[in-house]
């Protein structure tokens, strides 16, 4: 269960005003709106979420790195748990022509407004009950999703990812290493329910029997 980073370079490109975020609008109200995972979260004002999620190709470098690291080839099946609008999966199809992709997200808005080329391959659902047979994907990924779950759903989701993954699994979640990063995370997050240090996350992974790769993003 090694730690390997595919995501932090993208995460660090965003400049964040933590105090501005927590003071610009009542945080509890913003979180209530964000947790509906509707238009406001994806394409509304930045204080409610992404502030407009449009495809810009930024995830292609992640798809390239993952495809190379895991040896993904045409005909392999890749699942993204918490796929959002499917941008990373689309980039996988461009990096590895012939790869088979599937995505699942709790947001019907995200699926309905997903990248047109992969939209038919995405479905609405919860990470704690993946509608796929055992060992049906060469690679299962979940990026910036599982920290949004309560502990009982988090455990189920990890077990489900373990179940449907045949070979490789990769998870990225938010974490903190000190009190400053913890405060920044609390100030910035809107939908996060699992606040853990890396050591705690690793314990949770082991408890669920998850043996795949992982990485953390920090709010420095």
How confident is the chain (220 residues) per 10-residue block, as mean pLDDT? 88 90 93 98 96 95 97 98 98 98 98 98 98 98 98 98 97 98 96 97 97 96
Integer Cα distance of 148 and 204 in angstroms: 15
The architecture of the domain spanning 8-22+59-177+185-190+200-217 is 3-Layer(aba) Sandwich (3.40)
Per the CB < 8 A criterion, the answer to whether 103 and 79 are in contact is: yes
Would the pTM count as exceeding 0.85? yes
Write down the pLDDT at residue 2: 79
Per the CB < 8 A criterion, the answer to whether 111 and 122 are in contact is: yes
């Amino acid at each position: 269960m090694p730690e390997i980073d595919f995501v932090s370079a993208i995460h660090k490109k965003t400049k964040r005003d933590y105090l501005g975020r927590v003071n610009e609008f009542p945080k509890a109200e913003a979180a209530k709106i964000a947790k509906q995972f509707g238009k406001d979260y994806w394409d509304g004002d930045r204080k409610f979420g992404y502030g407009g999620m449009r495809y810009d190709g930024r995830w292609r470098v992640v798809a390239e790195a993952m495809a190379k690291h895991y040896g993904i080839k045409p005909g392999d099946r890749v699942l993204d748990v918490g796929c959002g609008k499917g941008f990373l999966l689309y980039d996988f199809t461009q990096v590895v022509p012939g790869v088979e992709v599937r995505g699942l997200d709790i947001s019907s808005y995200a699926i309905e407004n997903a990248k047109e080329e992969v939209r038919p391959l995405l479905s609405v659902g919860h990470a704690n009950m993946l509608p796929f047979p055992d060992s049906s994907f060469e690679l299962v990924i979940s990026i910036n999703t599982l920290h949004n779950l309560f502990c009982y759903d988090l455990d189920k989701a990890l077990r489900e990812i373990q179940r449907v993954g045949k070979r490789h699994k990769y998870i990225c979640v938010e974490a903190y290493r000190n009190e400053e990063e913890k405060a920044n995370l609390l100030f910035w997050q809107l939908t996060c329910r699992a606040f853990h240090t890396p050591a705690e996350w690793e314990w949770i992974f082991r408890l669920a029997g998850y043996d795949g790769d992982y990485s953390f993003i920090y709010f420095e």
